[in-house]
Structure 1
Amino acid sequence: MRIIVQKFGGTSVATKEARTAVIGKIKNALDKGYSSIVVVSAMGRSGDTYATDTLINVAKAENPTIGKRELDAIMCCGEIISASVMSAAMQKEGLKAVLLTGGQAGIITDDNFSAARIIRVETRNLIKLLNEGYIPVVCGFQGVTADMLNITTIGRGGSDTTAAALGAALNAEVVEIYTDVDGIMTTDPRIVKEAKVLDCISYGEICQLAHQGAKVIHPRAVEIAMQKNIQLVVRSTFSDAPGTLITNNTRVETSDIILDDRVASGISFLKDIAQIRIDTNREDNTVSIRIFSELARNHINVDCLNVHPGEILFTVNSSDLDRSMSVLKEAGFDPSFRDNCAKISVVGGGMKDVPGVMATFVSAIANQGITILQTVDSTNTISAVVEQEYLHDTVKALHDAFNLAK
């Protein structure tokens, strides 16, 4: 059996016209001899009647401190509504669609409500339905605890993760992620109009782009697919564009691009971050341990970490700034901060050991008269922290400097 998993995002199932386009994609897969599993997100986006954020607001209007278990219950409703409507539309077109909740699809999670992790996928029910000619329409973003007593949600972007987990468990040939854009772009086209759709990209590169702010696909979904070497394709519900192939291969038959020879693949960014600086005693080798242990104990995530003799720099989300400052002061430190910052990252699997990459990066920003507040890098990522008012100018300058429009 040739299995394909097709995930459709909220805009892909929000209207009758969109659902008609979805059915066309499903029929195309069936015509190619695939057995299809469809995964759907909640219908629409924030503000729409059945969107997840709308449902959350309904519950929190009654009680802003609603328990996470109960909040998961209402959040699951968006995908159930979406799967029900999508199944109805498919049945009307003569397709043997059958709705499955996450639990009915065999997705077993831990009990960390609102951010559950998938423990395993029990595939027996799915395989039985596929053998009988059904098309399972699975509610994304949700699962059930091992004792089958509680429904859970697996965090934002969870429908991508659902699709990847099902694909990995069933050894699918491919997992298709359908959205309202033609594929993964070199950067946000709302900032750089010359941004291009990438033909292909490696698992590692797209994970980095996603972690650094790109929102086309969830990084956890990529990590799961990478473990089983299952190809992912990100493409549009509303066009016939081939989309972007995510793969381990450095050369793919559908593209002339060799991933290892491409210095940079894309630029992503994170907004609303704050930089914290702490001057330290050069002779105290334990100070960084005490700082980051205290922040971790208070569940504060840090990023852009630079530790030097006499100085420690790092960033936090702006929403965590006040709490971070209080925690550090209570621990006996004297931190200073700079708010309203942004982190811009250039990602590329081919930048390792390439001379001049950092020079290109720094020069592009400096030539715009923008001050770099901090840099961090890894084997395939270089990031800069700048004042947020210069975010767009920085992204444009780097996109041009690394020739990503060509």
Structure 2
Amino acid sequence: MRVLVQKFGGTSLSTEEQRKLVIKKISAAIGDGNQVVAVVSAMGRRGAAYATDTLKDLVPDAKILSKKDLDLLMSCGEIISSVVLVSELAAAGIQAACLTGGQAGIITDDSYNDARIVRVNPVEIYRELEKNQVVIVAGFQGMTEEGQITTLGRGGSDTTAAALGAALKAHRIDIYTDVDGVKTADPKIVNNAKTLERITYNEICQLAHEGAKVIHPRAVEIAMQANVPLRVLSTFLDGNGTMVANGAAGDTVTDSINDNTITGITQKTNVSQLIIHNPAKDQHVSQQVFKVLAANEISVDFITINETETIFTVRDDVSARAISLIQDLGLEISTHLNCAKVAAVGAGMTGIPGVMSKIVEALTEKNIRILQSADSYTSIWCLVPQSDMEEAVRALHEKFNLG
């Protein structure tokens, strides 16, 4: 059985005309000899009748609901979407059946609103594939061992598709979006950003973690662990999109996946830099700070610790609370609010001298202040004022000849 998992997002399903394009993609996959499992999101975005955010807006004060009850509400959009698509496939002469996440065998923990998949038991999917050409699965949702409905958090339909692809030992996972693949930068910022033909799991995971919204990093990690090739492509355009793989044989790509040092530039906005001064060189200061922030569920990022300073970033929307908590400890703090994190990502940078030099040169030429920097073997990050973020992305894209 050659299984292809396809995932269609809300913009691909929001109107009847767009769903006809989805049916065309499913039909083409069947014509290529695949048995198709299609994962669907809720139809449209906030304002559309059955979008997840619209359903949440039916309860203006969601805090009065338990997270468990909120998951019941939020799971409805994908179920509606799957039933509508099955009916339209039938009208087009394609046999199909729909399953909820739980019926499809997605078993999660009980972290309602942001559940993690524990295991996948796709028995019902196999049963339906034997009877039908297509199985439509409601994305973004699963079920606990006790039978309670859960949702998987942001990017949950991507995660559903990847988990099913791994469990079914799929030939490939196709993530259909409203763009034609993974870009070298956000095309809204860089007008000559190009679509990458190929990219490694590690590279796309880093791009996703650092702000690129084309796919959720958790989905990439699942596909990478199972070594299932993954493709990102457009519902609305023809083309091969971007292939994501390790570099093995078959549908994956060769080891020479990218000759460029840098594969892409991405950005993350709305962060604030906090600098805690520690002239006494007391190592307990950092311990105190991170302990109180963790107790108040404030996540920190971009951490630099030296003898006299502890530097890190938090989201803008929690910065005032973080500053207050640190001041309550009696510590001296400086801040840079309204910052952005710009990242250059590329597996080709490992062991190559001069990459950081080019990054500093590109930003200095545009008079952009670097407030902080850090690196890993596939990424270099720079914190810059948010007002300079777009110029920084364009400067790095140009410096590394990514257009």
Alignment of 1:386-405 (within 5 A): 386-405=384-403
Alignment of 1:26-45 (within 5 A): 26-45=26-45
- Contact 1:202–1:250, Cα closer than 8 Å, also in 2: no
Cα 1:282–1:199 shift into 2, 3 Å:
farther
How far did residue 283 of structure 1 move?
Answer: 3.3
Query: Cα deviation per residue 1:138-177 (whole Å; 9 max; x = unaligned)?
Result: 00000111111x1110001000000000010110010000
The aligned residue for residue 237 of structure 1 is: 235
Offset of residue 125 of structure 1: 0.8
Query: Partners in 2 of 1:235 and 1:388 — Cα distance?
Result: 30
- Match of residue 333 from structure 1: 331
**Cross-structure match for 1:293:** 291
The alpha carbon displacement at 1:330 in A equals: 2.2
How far did 1:288 drift?
1.8
Q: Return the match for 1:183 from 181, 184, 188.
A: 181
Deviation at 1:254, TM superposition (A): 8.4
- Between stretches 223-232 and 40-49, larger displacement belongs to 40-49
Shift of 1:33: 1.1
Which residue of the partner structure matches residue 265 of structure 1? 263
Deviations 1:7-31 (A, max 9, x none): 0011111111111111111111111
The answer to whether 1:81 aligns with 2:80 is yes
For residues 30-53 of structure 1, what are the alpha-carbon distances to aligned partners after superposition, in whole Å with 9 as ceiling and x for unaligned?
A: 111111001000111122221111
Q: Summarize the Cα distance change of 1:63–1:169 in structure 2 as closer, same or farther, 3 Å threshold.
A: closer
For residues 255 and 18 of structure 2, the distance between their equivalents in structure 1, rounded to whole angstroms, comes to 32
Question: Quick one: which amino acid aligns to residue 202 of structure 2?
Answer: G
What residue is the counterpart of 1:225 in the other structure? 223
The answer to whether 1:121 aligns with 2:120 is: yes
The code of the aligned residue for 2:13 comes to: V
Cα distance in 2, alignment partners of residues 287 and 62 from structure 1: 38
Counterpart Cα distance in 2 of 1:252 and 1:401: 34
Report deviation, 1:253. Answer: 7.4
> Do 1:185 and 1:197's aligned partners in 2 also have CA atoms closer than 8 Å?
yes
* Residue of structure 1 equivalent to 2:3: 3
Q: Contact 1:250–1:259 (CA<8 Å) still a contact in 2?
A: no
SS for the counterpart of 1:72 is helix
Cα offsets for 1:108-155 (capped at 9, x unmatched)? 11111100000111111111111223421100000111111x111000
Amino acid at match of 2:50: Y
Aligned-residue identity in percent: 48
**Would the aligned equivalents of 2:199 and 2:258 in 1 still touch at CA under 8 Å?**
no
Aligned-pair distance for 1:67? 1.9
Aligned to 2:20: 20
Structure 2 Cα separation of the partners of residues 332 and 202 of structure 1: 46
Partner of 1:151: 149
- 1:73/1:127 CA distance change after superposition, 3 Å: same
Aligned partners of 2:62 and 2:70 also within 8 Å: no
* Contact 2:115 2:153 (8 Å CA) reproduced: yes
**Conserved? CA contact 1:51–1:78, under 8 Å:** yes
Q: Does 1:135 align with 2:134?
A: yes
Kindly provide the amino acid, as one letter, of the partner of residue 88 in structure 1.
Answer: S
Query: Over aligned residue pairs, what C-alpha RMSD do you find?
Result: 1.6
Q: Is the 8 A contact 2:349 2:378 kept in 1?
A: yes
SS of corresponding position for 1:350? helix
**Rounded Cα–Cα distance in structure 1 between residues aligned with 2:173 and 2:329:** 48
Cα distance in 2 between the residues matched to 1:252 and 1:189: 31
Give the drift of 1:365: 0.5
- Output the CA distance in 1 between the equivalents of 2:102 and 2:344: 39
Distance 1:103 1:254 in 2: 31
Bigger drift between 126-135 and 231-240 goes to 126-135
* Alpha-carbon distance between aligned partners in 1 of 2:279 and 2:248, rounded to the nearest angstrom: 47
Deviation at 1:84, TM superposition (A): 1.2
| Cα distance in 2, alignment partners of residues 172 and 192 from structure 1 | 35
Instruction: Give the structure 1 partner of residue 367 of structure 2.
Output: 369
Give the corresponding residue for 2:161.
Answer: 163
Provide the C-alpha distance between the structure 2 equivalents of 1:94 and 1:383, rounded to a whole number of angstroms: 51
Write the distance in 1 (CA, Å) between the matches of 2:146 and 2:249. 45
SS of the equivalent of 1:261 reads coil
Q: 1:166 to 1:339 in 2, by over 3 A?
A: same
In the alignment, structure 2 segments of 5+ residues that lack a partner are none
Instruction: Return the offset for 1:312.
Output: 1.3
Is the contact made by 2:273 and 2:339 (CA closer than 8 Å) also made in structure 1? yes
Paired with 1:62 and 1:225, the residues of 2 have a C-alpha distance of 37
1:66 deviates by 2.4
Taking the TM superposition and a 5 Å limit, the aligned residue runs for 1:270-281 are 270-281=268-279
Equivalent pair of 2:13/2:22 in contact (CA under 8 Å): yes
Given that 1:8 and 1:39 are in contact with CA atoms closer than 8 Å, whether structure 2 keeps it comes out as yes
SS in 2 for 1:20: helix
- Code of the aligned partner of 1:208: Q
1:174 maps to 172
- Taking a change above 3 Å as real, the CA distance of residues 342 and 286 of structure 1, as seen in their structure-2 partners, is same
* C-alpha contact (below 8 Å) 1:374/1:384 kept by paired residues: yes
CA shift at 1:57, angstroms? Answer: 1.2
TM-score for the superposition, normalised by structure 1: 0.96
Once residues 276 and 63 of structure 2 are traced to their aligned partners in structure 1, the CA distance between those partners, rounded to angstroms, is 35
The Cα of 1:285 is off from its aligned counterpart by 2.4
SS of residue in 2 equivalent to 1:362? helix
Q: For structure 1, which runs of at least 5 residues remain unmatched after alignment?
A: none
Q: Which amino acid aligns with 1:26?
A: I
Alpha carbons 1:199, 1:255 under 8 Å: kept:
no
- Judge conservation of contact 2:245–2:252 (CA < 8 Å) in 1: no
Question: What is the Cα deviation at residue 88 of structure 1?
Answer: 0.9
Aligned-partner Cα distance in 1 for 2:250–2:117:
31
Read off the aligned partner of 1:73 and give its amino acid letter.
L
